[in-house]
Amino acid sequence: MNTFDSEQLELLAAGYVLDDLDEEEMAQVEELIQSSPAMREQIRQSLELMGMVTNSVEPVSPPMELKDKITSVFPEDKNIPRQKTIINLDNWFQDLFETGWQMATELLETPTVTPAFRNSGVAGAKLITIGSNNQPIILIVRVKNTTPLDRDVEIEILSELQQEYLPSELQLMLLDSDENIVMEATTRQENRNLKFEFAGTSGETFSVKLRLFDDDFKQTFTL
C-alpha cells in the first residue's frame, strides 16, 4: 500500500472534496478513507471550510495552505452564484454529514425503519420548511450497500414531530440524472408520510424534489 505524507494527504483531500481527482487518485482516496483516520480528518476539515458538513467534533484549525487552495476556487464574493451541493452518500458511512443534515436517530426519537434497512445501512435526516407558511417537513434518506457497487435507497418525508400530518398537496418527486421524474406522489388529507424505494449503482446521481404550491425544495445526491 502506498504511504503519503501530510502534505500529500492535504492535496488529495482537497481534490476529493473539489471533485478534481482522476480515477486512480479517487481510488486511492477511497481506500484511505477506509484505513486512515488522518485522511478522514483531512476530508472533514476540507468540508468544514466550504460549509458543507456539520462539525460533530471539536473544531480543528486547518493548514493555511489548504485553506488558500480551497478559497481560491470558492471566493468569498457573495454576489457570485454557487452551484448547490451534490451530496455524496458514501460519505455518510464515515459519519460525514453536510450542513443541515444529521443522523436520523439524532433528529427523530423513534425513526421509522423498514425491515430491509433495519440493522444495516445509514440514514440521514434534514428538517426543511416549505410553502408560504414555512411548513416543517423531515426528509430522510436511507442507503444500504447490497454489493460493492449496488445500493438500495429509501426516500421518506415525515411530518415534523409537532405536526400530526403532512400538509395536503405536498408533492414528492424522484428525478434521474437528466431531471426526468421517475417517481411521484402527492399527499392528501391525513398523510403522515410518503416513501419511495429504489435500487441504484455506485456513481449514479439522483435528486429529491418537494413542491408545495409555488415553493420548491430540491437536493441532488450521488451514490
What CATH number does the domain containing 209 carry?
Answer: 2.60.40.3080
Q: Give the domain extent around 116.
A: 86-222
Residue 1 lies in a domain: no
69 shares its domain with 91: no
Residue 207 lies in a domain: yes
pTM exceeding the 0.95 threshold for the entire prediction: no
Residue 78 lies in a domain: no
Residue 164 lies in a domain: yes
68 shares its domain with 107: no
99 shares its domain with 171: yes
> What average pLDDT does range 100-123 have in this prediction?
69
121 shares its domain with 66: no
pLDDT in tens, 9-48: 788 888 887 777 777 787 787 777 777 777 777 777 777 6
Counting beta carbons within 10 angstroms of the beta carbon of residue 75, is it exposed (0 to 12), middle (13 to 18) or buried (19 or more)? exposed
Show which of 49, 73, 97 is a domain's final residue: 73
Amino acid present at 217? F
pLDDT in tens, 163-196: 778 988 999 999 999 999 999 999 988 888 899 9
Q: Name the pLDDT band for 65 (thresholds 50, 70, 90).
A: low
103 shares its domain with 191: yes
Domain count, the chain: 2
Which has the closest alpha carbon to 156: 114, 189, 212, 116?
114
Residue 81 lies in a domain: no
103 shares its domain with 161: yes
21 shares its domain with 97: no
151 shares its domain with 68: no
Report the phi/psi class of residue 213: left, alpha or beta, with left for phi > 0 and alpha for psi in -120 to 50.
Answer: left
